[in-house]
A and B are shown apart, each in its own frame.
Chain A
Amino acid sequence: KAGVTQTPRYLIKTRGQQVTLSCSPISGHRSVSWYQQTPGQGLQFLFEYFSETQRNKGNFPGRFSGRQFSNSRSEMNVSTLELGDSALYLCASRAASGSTGELFFGEGSRLTVL
């Protein structure tokens, strides 16, 4: 079956703009989480959604937000972009939150902020 799909794969924005990233989880998976990967900070948890509800949130400013739709697809939005938001944004899906199943990662959306 298809893996976790993230779009777009690459994008370039300028400071002050906003961006929306999309994630389609593996079919049947209801839990989606987002991570930010940068050379300096490594992999950091952004937020987690299950059945359209945010279950957990990382330590990021309010400019970072997300949502999940009834079909389990998820989007994250970053408003008022800063240079430091340049990163690889990874989405991961799992069958259910808190289950012992594997967390599957997508290939990521690479955001460059100029």
Chain B
Amino acid sequence: AQSVSQHNHHVILSEAASLELGCNYSYGGTVNLFWYVQYPGQHLQLLLKYFSGDPLVKGIKGFEAEFIKSKFSFNLRKPSVQWSDTAEYFCAVMRGGATNKLIFGTGTLLAVQP
């Protein structure tokens, strides 16, 4: 069965520090990859997505992610975090084809200290 692993459950950073959140998935076929963010008290929002093409994708708020097919990874990065980035981050995988079924990772809670 498909699964998505997020290696860090809790991350604490100071403002201006660099961020990298790991995400690995287990599925050998065509996949679409996503990072979602959930700010405190708000709904899930899409940060970025990968469907095809350039494996380095840029999203909103300065986030980017790199798809490395050989490693089944889709790590999220941001060069300099801000206090407002405090949120829970979810990696998700969707099999290619006519489906909206997302398999989510367990999430990473990021706390940015001012």
Contact = CB atoms under 8 A, between A and B. Distances in A.
Interface of A: 3, 31, 33, 35, 42-45, 48, 55-56, 58, 90, 92, 94, 97-98, 100, 102-108
Interface stretch (B13-21, B72-80, B93-101): B93-101
Contact of A42 (B42, B98, B104): B104
Contacts of A105: 36, 43-45
Given A48-B100, A98-B98, A108-B43, 8 more contacts: A33-B100, A35-B102, A45-B102, A55-B99, A103-B34, A104-B46, A105-B45, A107-B43
Given A97-B98, A98-B98, A45 B103 contact: yes
Chain B contact patch, size range: 20 to 34
B43 A103 contact: no
Interface of B: 32, 34, 36, 42-46, 49, 51, 90, 92, 97-107
Contacts of A42: 90, 104-107
Contacts of B32: 100
Contact of A106 (B43, B103, B105): B43
A13 B36 CA distance: 30
B90 A43 contact: yes
Residue of B36, B90, B92, B100 with most chain A CB atoms under a 10 A cut-off: B100
Contacts of B104: 35, 42-44
Given A42-B107, A90-B44, A105-B44, A100 B51 contact: yes
Contacts of A43: 90, 92, 102, 104, 107
B101 A58 contact: yes
